[in-house]
Amino acid sequence: YWAEAGAARELAASMNESIAQRVKEHPNRFVGLATVPLQDIDASVQEAKRAIDELGLHGFQIGSNVGGKNLNHPDYHPFFATVAELNVPLFIHPYIPAGEERMQEYYLHNLIGMVAETGLAIASVIYGGVLEKWPNLQIIFAHAGGVFPYIVGRMDHGYKVRTKECTEAIPHPPSHYMKQVYFDCMSFNDRALRYLVDMVGADHVLLGSDYPFDMGPIGGPAAEVQANPYLNGAEKEQICGGTAKMLFDLLER
């Protein structure tokens, strides 16, 4: 989102075509997610339709903000409406976390910033009414939902006591919308993943890798899930493949 709109349009189109070609070469190994130039919402809608209808990609990946603008901003409503119409998943990954200027030491811009940014993105699409307006959206959040699953009680409390700010766009407390979203498994803590599964169900959690970055699990994400003593066999199977098969319409593969 750092690029000028025209360049972003060209980059998105080129990336999507390249991804589609790799999927075509290895159709039993990959499915592809498209990117869109959210600096230009009309171009984003056009590219989104092309990516699914012409290139055969299976969904989208976007960042958690666009130039510091939260995703609930009305500018992005046409994109969310298009994703809902296309009925494909949308993966949201944190991008340039808020307050990163204070997190330059100790890799904190990643260790703290990314999970806080993920939580902020979830809060923005819930409080901003995105999930209320398009209830069939299939949004996947990275990093096991960041901080949000662990502060959802605080979010609900705010909904009850700060009614002017927190109830404007949603008729239900934030926890009501947790079953409408999906999360990868990247918590790096066995009990934290157990908590997430208890909250939303294993059918709303899927494998994440953070590949090719160094924050990916050392032994591989599937191995970490399989070694988790707090998950049963059915939950492990669901996380390691079942949820993704369902979301990306791969049940026949």
* Residues contacting 155, CB < 8 A, separation 6+: 123, 126, 127, 148, 173, 174, 175
Q: What is the pLDDT of residue 50?
A: 99
pLDDT band per the 50, 70, 90 thresholds, residue 252: low
- Mind giving me the DSSP string for 146-186? TTHHHHHHHHHHHHHH-HHHHSSS-SS-GGGGGGGEEEES-
pLDDT in tens, 20-37: 999 999 999 999 999 999
Residue-averaged pLDDT of the chain: 95
d(CA 144, CA 156): 19
Note if the pTM is more than 0.75. Answer: yes
Q: pLDDT-based confidence at 253, cuts 50/70/90?
A: very low
Tens of pLDDT, residues 109-154? 999 999 999 999 999 999 999 999 999 999 999 999 999 999 999 9
Q: Which domains does the chain have, with CATH numbers?
A: 5-247 (3.20.20.140)
Token reading at 61 = 């990946």
The amino acid at 207 = L
pLDDT at 212: 78
